[in-house]
Structure formats: C-alpha cells, structure tokens
Structure 1
C-alpha cells in the first residue's frame, strides 16, 4: 500500500515526460524515480512483454507495480466467463500472476476490500492480504481494469512466505493495557484519560511500512488509543501477541455542508468541541458572528465542501453528507497557548488562533478526513508523506479556485501553503519549490528524510511533513509543467490533475 497510490500518479505523469521514461531505468542522477534503493531487475515472471513499467520492492524483491502505456492493456491469461464482474477478472489475473507479488494461493490470501467504477468503463478492485484469515498490515493490492476486463495496472505490496502461529499467547485485554501504559508514558498523560479501541489480530512486518526495525513477521494486536477529551492524540499501537512487547506506535493526528463552529477562546480548560456541545458559536444557516476565527472556519469549510461536491460530486468527507465540525482558538494544557497548529482528530477539526484564516489550511485538514474515508493511508513513513501531500494538494486546489476578500491570490503566493496565516506571509511550505523550506522535491534529494534510527523522525512519524514535498512537486509539475531533474514536463492543468489525484486517492 505504501507507494501504490503515488506510483499510479507518477506513472500517469510519466506519459507527459520528454524524453520518455524507460520501464525500469534510472533518473539522470543515478537513483530510481520511485525510491533511492530501487534497482533494475530481470523479469522472472514474464510480465515485461505487456508492461511499460515494472517496479520491484527493494526488500522483498517482489513486483510492487506494473503499468501499461496509454491505450494499452495486459490481456487476461485465460478466457473469462461472459458474465464476469470486476472482482472475478482481477482475481483471474492474480491467480495466474500471483507469484510475482508473493502470493501462493491468491483466492484464500486476498479479501476484497472495495470495488469501484471509473470513467470509460474502467474499474478498481482493492484487496487486503490475509494469512489464515488474519489481515497483514500494509499488505494490499489494487488492480485497475479497462472496460474489457483486461488489466491496466496493479500496485501494492504483500508479505511472502508467511509461516507463523495465529494463536496469541497474550490476551486482547493484556495488549490493551500495554498500549495504554505505553501511550500514557509517551505523552505524559494519566492512563485514566486514555481510551483503547477493541484490539484485533494482525500480521506485521516493518518492511511494508518502511519502518527502521528488524524485518520479522509478527502476530500483533492492533488498536487505537485516544483521549477522553479528544486532544490531538490518536495513536495506532501494535503489541506483539506472543510476548506482549510493543511492536510499533505512532500518532495518526493529521497535524464539511452541515457546519458547526465552536470558539474555545484560547482557554485550555475547554475541551472539544466546545464549552457547550449543544450550542455552537455558528451553525448552518446563521450569519457572520464578527469573530474572524469563527467566520473563516465556517466559510472555508463551506468552500472546501463545495469544491469536492462541484468538482467530484462528493457529499462531504465520507461521501454521505457527514457534519463538518470545527473548533477555533483551541488550546490544551499540555501545549503552549495560543496553539500554533491545526489538526483533524478523526471526528472534527481544531484550529489554533489564526490558523482558520487560511483557506488552504482548512482544505488541507478537511482532506485528511476524505483520505481516511478512501485510501485510509497510514500516517507514518512514506504512506504518511503521501497522506500529507494529498492534503497539501487539495488545500492548494481549493485556494487556487477560491477568490475571496480575505484570500491572498497574488501570483507570488501560488503554490504556497498557509500564506494567509497571520505571521506567515510566505507560508509554511512551497509546493513548486519544496527545498525553500528544507523539504525534498524528489526522493533522491539530500532533504529526503530517511529515519534509520528514530522511526518518529523528531515527532514527525517518519518525516511525513518533510517528505510530502516529493508529491507536492509532482502535482505542481502536472498542473503548470516545467523543467525538472533533466526532464521537460508538459502541464495538463488543474482540472485534469485533480481528476487523476482524486481517482488515486
């Protein structure tokens, strides 16, 4: 799953590059276009005759992406029944080529997560890898089919050769207690203020997440730890189900048109959503309050909703019209006040003073809710960087389309994230030139964060905010075009780019 979404985007972008990108070649600097460790390999699975791109996982050695040239497809290896649907076609293809992805028995090792239609008769089938019925963390495959049920692309990763017991020695309650103690210590919080979701058994190996840990297959209890007052803690915790030791933990906080806005007035004693949960400071249908934080959060959540609805036909974050809840001038006793950030906690938005003044920031944070309801990318390592980049891209698209009295749309502010936040006239990131803020514009950049010792990279969950610069640069080039890294890119504009990204997301 980690790079599957981004690989689709880059493959679509590559069709616009001059000179053409080779199927298994390298960048002019000698590094792979996808990852610094990716190297050209032979084709033991016989796929290269049908593909334009064939990429391998640097650690498992398995195929992680196959893609075709525009207008081409990979034929099914055997005839399909006349009434075959998308899932049947995808499974038929993987039944023949499954060994290329590390699958022995794809029929039993893959559970269907989602089947989704697209334009021109295309469809996507998303599978979850399971071992003896237990899902694998990060083990997913996405098959894209054309209208004739032939294959256009396959992306994703699996764990090969699994051989471990799926019977836990540690109970779910014991694992939940371990996770609670771990998170309480990490955030210096009383354990009674933490809530643990029902633990579920999963198989975990850090190679699929790119985590800097010893690669080993482990049966783990997976759960989520949050706080009773909805502060910015939403820890995904994995606890070894055989010995009870912590396997991995990271915060998933990503640091809608029924709208509600509460104003906490920089009072750390007030929780979320506000002092009186039944009486927001502004609700749908009410006029401006005169409080700029409240009114900007209300207005910008509305234009973000309108963007998704008008451009993509999407009804709010979950596609089903859920409420858009925001709290402005949020503070918490554990953080300096005013709170200099904004976050989505899985339920609502919270903004520190002034952070709702930027339409791209509001669009960014609300997009985390969209991503959670679609690809549901882990907020960790490369997956988290793609998650962050999605939010930057959609936040900027909202900014580029919206032209209001409080929005700075000068040409010099194009592609700058957060330029309307008070005190940040140049923004907090430059998507057209990520190195301006020390972020990488390609994976071979010296700015690219490769945490090999500290998996949290200074509290940034493996460099999610830093490494988002790679995806941001790709989006800029797709929209505006330009010369970069030895290639000339012909821009396709925001409308087409938005369509591609939304489909991939």
Structure 2
C-alpha cells in the first residue's frame, strides 16, 4: 500500500516533566511566601498547566496523615498557594483503596451545584496515609474571578430539542431503543440511556459558560455519539461534535480466517443463541446481526444445531469469541468486571450495512462491518481490533480522555496498546483483516509508525485543526508517538510488567484532558507504585518516553 505522507510541525509548547530533588525544587508562585508552597514538598515530578496550577505532582507531598475527605481538603487548603482552589468547590466522586494499600480520592470541581466539564482532580495517598501524588485539571481562583452570574433559561428538554435541530434530525428519524426478549431468567435491554443531558459549566474561549450538555447516541441513519453543548442562557450552540470512537478498522470479505472456535452459547425453545452467560460476576457476552441494515442492536444471532459453520456466520463467531477473550483478559489480569467494572453486557452487532469498511464503539455497544473484500474483510475477525474498540469503552469509564488533540491521541493509543496486550504476536494493528490481498499489511504499526503515515517523535507532531476534517486534532495520526513509547517500553521491560503499568496509569492517573507529558508522568507514577522509583523498570519507562521526545 502507499505510505501516507505527513508534514512535520514545530511544537510551540509542550509541558515539560522535571525530575526534582529537595535541593533543586523551587516555589513557582511569586508573592505568596506567607503560605506553604512547593519548597515544602520533596518532588520527583512537577508539571504545571498553562495557568501555573499543578497538573501532576509526585513525591513526598504531606507530613500529616490523610484518612478522610476532610483531611484531603485540609491538605489542599494548607497549600492553597500551590493548588489555588477553593476546596468547597470540590465534590468527592470516589474513594478507593487498591491492592497496594494506596487510597485514591477523585474529585469533581463545581461551580455552585454544577460540575465544570473536565475538571477532575485526584489525590493519592500511600498505605501510611501520606500524599504521594496529585493530578488532574483544576481551575484556580483567578479563573473563577472571571465568572459572570448566569441563570438557566434553557432547560434540559429545550436543550435536547435544540440539539436535534442542530444536527438536522428528529428522534423518529433515528434508531434509539429496542425491547428485547428475556434470556436466562433476566431481562436485558440496551443497558444505557441513549439520550443524556446534564447541566455543566464549560470553559470555552477564556470564559465559563453555563451549558446544557446533550449526548445523542444512535445508529440510524448513521453511527453517532453526538456531544452538543447548548448555552443554558440563550440557547446558542457553544460547540458540538460526533464523538463516535472510530478505529477505521471495518472489514471486508465473507468469512473470517477459518479458525476453529469453542463458543459459549445459550439454548432456548429449540434455538441456540450467541449469548454467553458463563462469565463470573454476572458478565454477559451478547452477539447480534444487523442483517446488512443499519438498525441497532439488530436481531440475535441464532442457529438450529449449535454448529455455527456457515460462511455467513463467521463474523458472528469471531465477534463473540474475541469479546469473551477481552472480558476474560480484563477480569483475570486486572480484576475488572467488563468495561465499566460492574459487569456491563458486552454487546456486538455484525453485518452492519453493506460492504461497510469500519468498526466502532458507539457509546453503548460494538458495531462491525463486513468490509468490501479489498480494503477489509469482516473486522470482527481481528482480536486486536475487538480489543481496541472495547478498550475505548474502558477508557470512557475511567480516564475519560476527551476525543480531541493529545487526549484523543492517547485515547487511540491506549486502545492500540491493549490490542497488542491481547494479541502479542506482532506490533501491527488490524493485520488479520486489512487488505486481505496484501500480505503483511496493517492499519498501523506500533514499532514503526512512520510506515503508515504516523509520526513517532514529537519533532514530527502534527498540529492539525480540531475538526472532523483535521481528525479532531490528529487523534489517529499523533497516536503514533505514544504508540512508539509503548513499543520501547514493552521491548525493554516485557509485556507482563507493561500491561500492569498501562492499566494502572489509565485507571488511576489520567484525566479527561491529560496530554502526552501528563501520560508520561502517569506511567512513571504507576511504575513507581508497582516497582519503585529507583528500579530499572522505572528507568526503562522514563527512557521510552525520552526516546519519542516527551519530557
């Protein structure tokens, strides 16, 4: 295939990660010497956002022992010159103690009763109760001083109507819900609301705007996970995008590679279903077919004798089998019960549309096309593609990496990396289903991103516009840089250590607007937690990110 050309751009500003010692650390907020500052900390890592507020601090950050939410807020108040936040604006979302004895406090910053979009901040303590890491995105008192009084004049229902109008559709034009039959004594539905609305503050163009965040998820007349922000004061559209997580891995062909599979199915009323109820903790794997149409979730894949050997069934077989493997991987390796951690049904629909060269996670389920036979064969026939898409769902429920610019490229990269962890034969992505007439071809390469038109170093970073035409800031392009860092990491320390580090970083230390530098810090912190900051493993992870120009 032809290699894609790409243009090298100069990087105007990348937050640097500094390795600090007590002797070299310095206060970074002048004029606040009467309050506790950075000099009070024994830092290993310091990262500041563009406002001078810490996006990532690691080291010995407290002498007092933290046991409660109140203790955390007292710590932040004591160091108000550093964090610049009114602790009354922080709402505790989660407190969790992990198997290393570390406790993770996750907060949502609010204005009044409304959350600030993307303002998620975490404080992490070791098993003795000492603060060792803080990370995330905060808006300081100077930012909040810009806030103008705003009142809701456009309610949630009105905002939903305006959102539909904005995308030039009506609810009846789309496929939103379906009632499905009861299997195994349980009623199963789509599992998630497909129209969602929340009142939030969004920081947009250097100001806080009270908004109604509307999410519209549907599959007909096209796959969509619209995120639309409606001004709650005047009803104008602040910004919108179809945030469907598209791996561009839809396939081709009439069957999938001919491998024999052992399937967990369900029998009822003389019919076998691709419906797996054997997973622990009530996990369910469910596979359907769209019958070459676009309505979702489609009808159940069924068979009369439990021998799923017809060529038309091969896409279902692999979708079902591989989804089960991904479920088992996350449970057995990381103790995670399905993508949401709470046993959510993993639903896949194959035979979507006709000659459809794509696969995607739409916010509720997996969808696979059959491809056109030359660009792809059935995309469900590639384990790393299936793992990639389900990992988008894991990321959505953990770090919540926003699907644009560097956070979006990290979102794509984490899906590729976990695709590799499930399919470790090579560093290619989608090679089992892509261009079946060309041997050894793939969508991407983690070991050699340049071979498929991706940068592999920050010197080649592409500053693309945050538009659909610009791939939302290059989420599928610039992911080559963290992918290459992952390749270096895995080559140096092995997949067994790397997968633990990547999972811990994703689920504990990344937040919606984390950039590449934040990801490096998250990886190093996860490595320090697991293997120690003085270990050779730590040095290897550090070197991997150095090698791609992320500091």
TM-score where L is the length of structure 2: 0.69
Residue in 2 that maps onto 1:261: 287
Aligned counterparts of 2:303 and 2:47: Cα–Cα separation in 1: 51
Residue in 2 that maps onto 1:494: 495
Deviations 1:38-96 (A, max 9, x none): 599962273254112211112x232211123xxxx2223xx44xxx5253443232122
Deviation at 1:308, TM superposition (A): 1.1
Query: Does the CA contact (< 8 Å) of 1:66 and 1:153 recur in 2?
Result: yes
Deviation at 1:129, TM superposition (A): 0.5
Whether 2:85 is the aligned partner of 1:100: answer no
Structure 2 residue runs without a partner (length 5+):
1-8, 19-25, 30-35, 177-193, 247-275, 371-377, 507-551
Deviations 1:176-216 (A, max 9, x none): 222111122xxxx456425783532211114xxxxxxx322
Query: Does the CA contact (< 8 Å) of 2:290 and 2:352 recur in 1?
Result: yes
Deviations 1:242-280 (A, max 9, x none): 222111212222219422222334x23x51122x3xx32
Residue in 1 that maps onto 2:463: 449
Query: Does the CA contact (< 8 Å) of 1:250 and 1:461 recur in 2?
Result: no
SS of 2:43's equivalent in the other structure is coil
1:134 to 89, 92, 114: 114
Query: Does the CA contact (< 8 Å) of 1:261 and 1:282 recur in 2?
Result: no
Deviation at 1:230, TM superposition (A): 8.4
Residue in 2 that maps onto 1:53: 45
Q: Cα RMSD (Å) of the superposition?
A: 2.8
Residue in 1 that maps onto 2:182: none
Deviation at 1:137, TM superposition (A): 0.8
Deviation at 1:459, TM superposition (A): 6.1
Whether 2:161 is the aligned partner of 1:156: answer no
Deviation at 1:30, TM superposition (A): 10
Equivalences, count = 415
Return closer, same or farther for 1:200/1:305 CA change in 2, 3 Å cut-off.
closer
Residue in 1 that maps onto 2:448: 433
After TM superposition, the structure 1 = structure 2 runs for residues 77-96 of structure 1, keeping only pairs within 5 Å, are: 79-80=64-65, 85=67, 87-96=69-78
Structure 1 residue runs without a partner (length 5+):
1-28, 207-213, 332-336, 401-408, 481-490
Whether 2:484 is the aligned partner of 1:473: answer yes
SS of 2:286's equivalent in the other structure is strand
Aligned counterparts of 1:498 and 1:97: Cα–Cα separation in 2: 35
1:112 to 89, 92, 101: 92
Query: Does the CA contact (< 8 Å) of 2:383 and 2:423 recur in 1?
Result: yes
Residue in 2 that maps onto 1:222: 213
TM-score where L is the length of structure 1: 0.75
SS of 1:385's equivalent in the other structure is helix
Aligned counterparts of 1:282 and 1:156: Cα–Cα separation in 2: 49
Return closer, same or farther for 1:282/1:109 CA change in 2, 3 Å cut-off.
farther
Whether 2:412 is the aligned partner of 1:370: answer no
Whether 2:69 is the aligned partner of 1:43: answer no
Query: Does the CA contact (< 8 Å) of 1:456 and 1:462 recur in 2?
Result: yes
After TM superposition, the structure 1 = structure 2 runs for residues 304-323 of structure 1, keeping only pairs within 5 Å, are: 304-323=326-345
Whether 2:462 is the aligned partner of 1:462: answer no
1:74 to 12, 36, 61: 61
Deviation at 1:220, TM superposition (A): 1.0
Larger radius of gyration: 2
Aligned counterparts of 2:498 and 2:237: Cα–Cα separation in 1: 41
After TM superposition, the structure 1 = structure 2 runs for residues 103-502 of structure 1, keeping only pairs within 5 Å, are: 103=85, 105-106=86-87, 108-160=88-140, 161-162=143-144, 163-184=147-168, 189-190=169-170, 192-193=172-173, 197-206=195-204, 214-227=205-218, 229=220, 231-255=222-246, 257=279, 258-265=284-291, 267-268=292-293, 270-274=294-298, 276=299, 279-281=300-302, 286-290=306-310, 291-331=313-353, 337-353=354-370, 354-400=378-424, 409=425, 414-423=426-435, 425-442=440-457, 444-451=458-465, 455-458=466-469, 460-480=471-491, 491-502=492-503
Query: Does the CA contact (< 8 Å) of 1:56 and 1:63 recur in 2?
Result: yes
